[in-house]
């Protein structure tokens, strides 16, 4: 049986922040492999470094040392411009507060990442409509974010995240701003993305109920990654 290499490989990763003259270590010697199609939850108390780790995996922050390899590319060696291009092709982002552009409709928000691709207008339309169909919002594509509920906005954000068919999806507290019922719907949608579309999801959460949906839960504490807690096999 062929063993597939992990889609994310993190080796000896260190990250610190400077506050005045003080250097505050945030992540210390992180080593982590994430397999293709895995749904991983990162948990930990506030300030444990889980969002920082997510940012480093997503290429929106720079490590002090160590390497982050995603889909075979060591992103720690990429320039800002290369990283921006890499992110547009390889990463889908789901934020706690959705971060939709309020003056754009649901369709236009989903189409936004496609503007950086070479797709034609017709192709962009097809892709965006397909993504909105997956999140079950075909009938709301002409609505503005202000006309949508929190759960619907998060679904639009998920459609925006998957529209470019990225290698991995990163989600930072995706249910943090939602009520319990809506949060459950969003988590079920994320599960569907993993099971039906084979997406790899890395999710940061405080919520144990959200983490329950993941295949693997990893805990961070004071910048140190604890042993794996595997819920289910994949």
Partner 1 sequence: MHILKLVFKNSFRHKLRTYLTILGITIAILAFGLLRTVIDAWYAGVNASSAARLVTRNSISLVFPLPLSYKDKIRQIPGVKIVSYGSWFGGVYIDEKNFFPNFVVDSISYLELYPEIVLPADQQKAFVRDRKGFVAGRKLIAKYGWKIGDTVILKGTIFPGDWEFVLRGIYRGRDKTVDETQFFFNWDYLNESLKKTTPARADHVGFYMIGVTSPSAAADAAAAIDKTFKNSLAETLTETEKAFQMGFVSMSEAIVIAIQLVSFVVIIIILAVVANTMAMTARERFVEYAVFKTLGFGKWHIAALIFGESLFITMTGCALGIVLTFPSAKAFGNEMSTFFPVFNVSTETIYLDIAASIIVGTAAAIIPTWRAINIRIAEGLRRIG
**Binding residue (CB under 8 A) for partner 1 from 33, 47, 60, 185:** 60
| Residue 81 or 120 with smaller CB distance to partner 1 | 81
**Binding residue (CB under 8 A) for partner 1 from 38, 111, 152, 207:** 111
How is residue 20 written in tokens?
């005045």
* 3-state SS track over the chain: CCCCCCCEEEEEEEEEEEECCEEEEEEEEEEEEECCCCEEEEECCCCCCHHHHHHHHHCCCCCCEEEEEECCEEHHHCCHHHHHHHHHHHEEEECCCCCCCCCCCHHHHHHHHHHHCCCCHHHHHHHHHHHHHHCCCHHHCCCCHHHCCHHHHHHHHHHHHHCCCCCEEEEECCCCCCCHHHHHHHHHHHHHHHHHHCCEEEEECCCHHHHCCCCEEEEEECCEECCCEECCCC
What is the nearest approach in angstroms of partner 1 to the Cβ of residue 108?
Answer: 5
| Residue 9 or 61 with smaller CB distance to partner 1 | 61
Is residue 113 part of the contact set for partner 1 (CB under 8 A)? yes
**Binding residue (CB under 8 A) for partner 1 from 115, 197, 228, 234:** 115
What is the nearest approach in angstroms of partner 1 to the Cβ of residue 68?
Answer: 15
Residues 146-165 that bind partner 1 (CB under 8 A): 160
| Residue 79 or 232 with smaller CB distance to partner 1 | 79
Is residue 119 part of the contact set for partner 1 (CB under 8 A)? no
Over the window 25 to 54, marking each residue x when it contacts partner 1 by CB under 8 A and - when it does not, the resulting string is --------------------------xx--
**Binding residue (CB under 8 A) for partner 1 from 35, 73, 78, 104:** 104
Task: Give the pairing of strands 200-204 and 91-94.
Answer: unpaired
| Residue 7 or 157 with smaller CB distance to partner 1 | 157
Interface contacts to partner 1, rule CB under 8 A? 51-52, 55, 58, 60-61, 81, 84-89, 93, 95-97, 99, 101-104, 108, 111-113, 115-116, 160
């Amino acid at each position: 049986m062929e063993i597939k290499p992990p889609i994310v490989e993190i080796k000896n990763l260190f990250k610190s922040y400077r506050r005045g003259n003080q250097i505050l270590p945030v992540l210390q010697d992180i080593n982590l492999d994430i397999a293709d199609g895995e749904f991983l939850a990162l948990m930990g108390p506030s300030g444990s470094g889980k969002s920082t780790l997510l940012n480093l995996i997503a290429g929106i922050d720079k490590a002090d040392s160590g390497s982050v390899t995603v889909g075979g590319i060591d992103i720690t060696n990429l320039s800002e411009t290369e990283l921006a291009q890499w992110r547009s092709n390889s990463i889908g982002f789901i934020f706690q507060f959705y971060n939709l552009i309020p003056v754009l409709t649901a369709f236009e928000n989903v189409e936004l990442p496609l503007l950086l691709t070479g797709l034609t207008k017709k192709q962009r339309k097809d892709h965006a409509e397909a993504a909105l169909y997956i999140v079950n919002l075909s009938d709301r594509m002409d609505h503005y974010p202000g006309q949508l509920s929190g759960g619907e906005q998060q679904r639009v954000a998920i459609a925006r995240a998957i529209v470019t068919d990225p290698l991995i999806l990163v989600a930072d507290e995706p249910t943090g701003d939602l009520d319990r019922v809506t949060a459950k719907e969003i988590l079920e949608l994320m599960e569907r993305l993993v099971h039906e579309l084979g997406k790899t999801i890395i999710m940061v959460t405080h919520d144990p109920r959200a983490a329950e949906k993941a295949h693997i839960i990893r805990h961070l504490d004071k910048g140190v990654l604890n042993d794996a807690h595997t819920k289910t096999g994949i």
